[in-house]
Amino acid sequence: MSNALKIYMLAMISFLVGTSEYTIAGILDKVAVDVGVSVSVAGQLITVFSLAYAFGTPIVIAVTARMERRQLLLYALGVFAVGNLIAVALPGYTFLLVSRVVLAISTGVFLVTSLTVAAKLAAPGKQGSAIATLIMGFSAALIIGVPLGRVAASVYDWKLIFGVIGLLGLLAMFLILIAIPQSNGEAPVPIRKQFALLKKPEIAIALAVAFTWIGGYSVVYTYISPYLLTITKLSEQSVSIALFSFGIASLLGSKFGGYSTDRWGAPRTLVIGMLFNTIALVLLSLAGQSPLIVFPLLMFWSFTVWSSSPTQQFYLLSLAPEASGIMLSMNTSVLHLGMAVGAGLGGVVVEQASLSYISWIGATSVILAAVTAATFFRISYSRKRREEVKCSLVETCA
């Protein structure tokens, strides 16, 4: 098997673990009914997953930094299979929470490790493409995994989804064992060095923007299936189609975000993308009751949300290119922390107010992120112009 095929194989496994993360949002109402809790309480399964991912993954990665990479991939997938087995075999909400914690940490460890392995397998100068291939595989879970999960849960039982994912996880272990070569671990990066980057205002603000932006997304997406069933009054089949449309739009948005960043720069792409994201959520709040209008609105929202994702990662890497691995790790943790807070806040809104309010809360969070980013970029631009003028006056710059 060529190295290119090995990278695509890792991307397919990334799709599998991505489905285990994202599919819960598509079947949240069915899980709530089956385990005997409210939709808002079921939504905390996403909160717990994101918190475990955000805090657990960096710790495990640091502890296992020197471990041989193929072995770490196998361990991560083994734990991943166990996490799915817990969801299938053990009854009740508590065991489902345990399952989400196990799945979160194993998913995070597998993804981070597979990115480093893919970079080593790639030909010289093709490391970026290899990483993008894996990220695309993980993101494809939104396009295919979530709507398929909704269909499977409607026709059969939602536990079947995790049973199949667990079995495929065992198959993935076999494929990695025979196809992926052994490779050495890396020197661990001290936590102190990682947090030292947060002392830079531009990095701290960029991560704060990411936290607020993804939090606004999570408030709405966590409860998107109950929203479409209750507020828009879509049928089961229509909800699956809506989720599929959402996934397609996310892929197109990611592609456009990368193109726009190259053509017009990260600051403009981020701010404009978040402004349109806000507009999409406001329109969803105003017209979410109409089945005809909600489909294009969902696609518009998804497009604007995911156009910011590659731009955010590119901008963070540009702030500290010498610490690209640390920046990607911190960004992933902050995004999952934001998703946890968003899901938790959404649960409070659903429980204390109404499902119809979640899009307003999401819009508020996203516009706050846009204003913060725009203000910071404006200040940075003004400072840069003053320095250029000062340099021109003294005819030299240090």
- pLDDT for res 137: 80
Q: Please report the pLDDT score of residue 84 as a whole number.
A: 94
Res. 190 pLDDT band, cuts 50 70 90: low
Mean per-residue pLDDT, 128-136:
72
Place 393 in a pLDDT band, splitting at 50, 70 and 90.
low
User: Alpha-carbon distance 362 to 203, whole Å?
Assistant: 23
pLDDT digits (tens, 9 = 90+) for 209-268: 999 999 999 999 888 888 998 899 988 888 888 888 888 888 888 778 877 877 888 888
**pLDDT-based confidence at residue 189 (cuts at 50, 70, 90):** low
pLDDT band at 21 (very low <50, low <70, confident <90, very high): confident
pLDDT value, residue 390: 67
Top pLDDT among 160 and 133 is at 160
Residue 308: burial class (beta carbons within 10 Å; 0-12, 13-18, 19+) = buried
List C-alpha distances in Å: 219 to 34, 63, 118, 311.
23, 32, 33, 21
Between CA 203 and CA 193 the distance in angstroms is 14
> Cα 144 from chain centroid?
15
Count, in order, helices (H) and strands (E) of the chain: 17, 0
Min mean pLDDT across 23-27, 328-332, 339-343 is at 328-332
Q: What's the whole-model pTM score?
A: 0.79
For residues 378 and 255, which has the higher predicted lDDT (pLDDT)?
378
pLDDT of residue 366: 95
DSSP 355: G
Q: Which helix (H) or strand (E) holds 178?
A: helix 158-179
> Rounded to an integer, what distance in angstroms lies between the CA atom of residue 343 and that of residue 389?
47
pLDDT tens figures, 302-332? 999 888 877 787 787 677 776 666 776 778 8
pLDDT tens-digit series, residues 47-105: 899 889 888 888 888 788 788 888 999 999 999 999 999 999 988 899 999 999 999 99
Look at residue 187 in the predicted model and tell me its pLDDT.
Answer: 63
Q: Which pLDDT value is given to residue 397?
A: 54
Per cent of the chain over pLDDT 90 is: 28
The pLDDT of 141-166, averaged and rounded, is 86
pLDDT at 398 over 60: no
Those residues with Cβ within 8 angstroms of residue 190's Cβ, 6 or more apart along the chain or in another chain: none
Q: Rounded to whole angstroms, what are the CA distances from 353 to 273, 288, 308, 348? A: 29, 17, 30, 8
